[in-house]
């Protein structure tokens, strides 16, 4: 094998324990449950969109062959979707729960299509789809407990051994997150070039945001700060440059250590900035990279070790 092939194989399939994948399953499913089910925004958007009537819907791809769900159907599917997310987080019938949840969420996006696919609808579908085709329920799950007790239980494994099967899904999620940020920056450069940074584009966006997005209830909560920033063009140019540089540098997050720590911090900074100044929160993307990149089990272990002597 060539050196590139060896590194490629190591990047995707180096044997690992199932803990990181279990972390992603639990954290992402609970995070999606909070943002897509517990908070009313997602269901409200779907119901409001469905109530507009078919004349305002322009489904794309496979969606154009599916019937638009009624308000009652959406409400029921949303409840079932929440139950499936909790089941997946607990690791109960994990693959069935994730596959079904992905299919339901895919179907629920039909009313929200106005001739385009919205990013906040596409991201959770793709993320759940990645988890659905992975062995995410093999560890830290009810499936593993039930499999040890009942050999005929069809989900999970009784004893999960170190394997490359547990690495590629986490890597896939990481690559997906980097791709989202990188393609956003690339799109800016291909469409507008350096003018996206040097022009008054960002200034116009910040002025127009409260008007254009006020109907969605997601426009800036800090209007005074928004108004102050608009009055400082040089600061806006610096912010615009920071956004583009961060987005184009996103693949560096795939390098463990300092590059990853810096880039994940930058991702979080972008999310906070978008929320403060423009309204969109990209909650689903935030949840994904917070659990795909950050080894919370190591963080908890480190804190536990540090606290142990103090208690003694």
Query: Helix/strand/coil (H, E, C) string of the chain?
Result: CCHHHHHHHHHHHCCECCHHHHHHHHHHHHHHHHHHHHCCHHHHHHHHHHCCCHHHCECCHHHHHCCCCCHHHHHHHHHHHHHHHHHHHHCCCHHHHHHHHHHHHHHHCHHHCECCCCHHHHHHHHHHHHHHCCCCCCCCCHHHHHHHHCCCCCCCCCCCCCEHHHCHHHHHHHHHHHHHHHHHHHHHHHHCCCHHHHCCHHHHHHHHHHHHCHHHCCCCCCHHHHHHHHCCHHHHHHHHHHHHHHHHCHHHHHCCCHHHHHHHHHHHHHHHHHHHHCCCCCHHHHHHHHHHCCCHHHHHHHHHHHHHHHHC
Q: How does 190-221 read in b/e, with b if 16+ C-beta sit within 10 Å?
A: eeeeeebbebebbbeebeebeeeeeeeebbbe
Report pLDDT digits (tens) over 85-116: 999 999 999 999 999 999 999 998 876 666 56
Q: What is the pLDDT, as a whole number, of residue 189? A: 94
Q: How far apart, in whole angstroms, are the C-alpha atoms of residue 138 and residue 83?
A: 20
The lowest-confidence range among 29-38, 228-237, 282-291 is 228-237
Q: Which of the residue ranges 75-89, 134-148, 270-284 would you say has the lowest mean pLDDT? A: 270-284
pLDDT tens digits, one per residue of 125-175: 999 999 999 999 999 999 999 998 888 888 888 788 899 999 999 999 999
Cα–Cα distance for residue pair 138/274, rounded to 1 Å: 37
Using the predicted structure, report yes or no on whether residue 214 has a pLDDT greater than 50.
Answer: no
**Cut 0.85: pTM above it:** yes
**The pLDDT of residue 299 is above 90:** no
Q: What is the pLDDT of residue 71?
A: 87
Whether 217 has a pLDDT exceeding 60, the answer reads no
pLDDT of 239 over the 60 cut: yes
Question: Are the C-beta atoms of residues 301 and 140 closer than 8 Å to each other?
Answer: no
Note the pLDDT tens digit of each residue in 1-22.
788 999 999 999 999 999 999 9
Q: Across the chain, what does the average pLDDT equal?
A: 87
Q: What is the pLDDT of residue 129?
A: 96
Q: Does pLDDT of 242 surpass 90?
A: yes
Q: How confident is the model at residue 212 (pLDDT cuts 50, 70, 90)?
A: low
pLDDT for position 178: 97
**pLDDT for residue 215:** 44
**What are the angstrom distances between the C-alpha of 71 and each of 85, 114, 116, 153?**
21, 18, 21, 36
Query: What pLDDT does residue 220 have?
Result: 56
């Amino acid at each position: 094998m060539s050196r590139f092939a060896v590194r490629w194989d190591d990047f995707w399939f180096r044997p690992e324990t199932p803990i990181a994948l279990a972390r992603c399953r639990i954290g992402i499913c609970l995070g999606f449950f909070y943002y897509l089910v517990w908070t009313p925004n997602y269901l409200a958007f779907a119901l409001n969109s469905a109530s507009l009537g078919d004349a305002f819907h322009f489904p794309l791809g496979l969606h154009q062959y599916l019937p638009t769900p009624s308000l009652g159907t959406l409400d029921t599917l949303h409840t079932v979707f929440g139950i499936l997310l909790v089941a997946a987080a607990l690791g109960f019938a994990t693959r069935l729960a994730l596959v079904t949840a992905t299919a339901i969420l895919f179907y629920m996006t039909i009313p929200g299509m106005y001739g385009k696919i919205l990013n906040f609808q596409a991201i959770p579908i793709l993320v759940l789809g990645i988890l659905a085709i992975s062995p995410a329920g093999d560890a830290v799950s009810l499936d593993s407990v039930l499999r040890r007790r009942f050999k005929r239980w069809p989900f999970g494994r009784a004893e999960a051994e170190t394997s490359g099967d547990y690495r590629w899904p986490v890597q896939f999620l990481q690559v997906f997150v980097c791709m989202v940020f990188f393609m956003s920056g690339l799109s800016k450069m291909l469409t507008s070039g350096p003018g996206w940074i040097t022009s008054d584009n960002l200034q116009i966006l910040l002025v127009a945001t409260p008007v254009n997005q006020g109907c969605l209830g997601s426009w800036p909560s800090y209007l005074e700060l928004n108004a102050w920033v608009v009055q400082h063009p040089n600061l806006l140019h610096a912010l615009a440059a920071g956004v583009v540089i961060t987005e184009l540098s996103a693949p560096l997050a795939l390098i463990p250590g300092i590059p990853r720590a810096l880039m994940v911090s930058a991702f979080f900074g972008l999310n906070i900035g978008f929320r403060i100044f423009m309204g969109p929160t990209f909650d689903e993307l935030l949840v994904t990279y917070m659990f795909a990149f950050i080894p919370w089990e190591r963080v908890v272990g480190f804190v536990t070790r540090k606290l142990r002597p103090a208690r003694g």
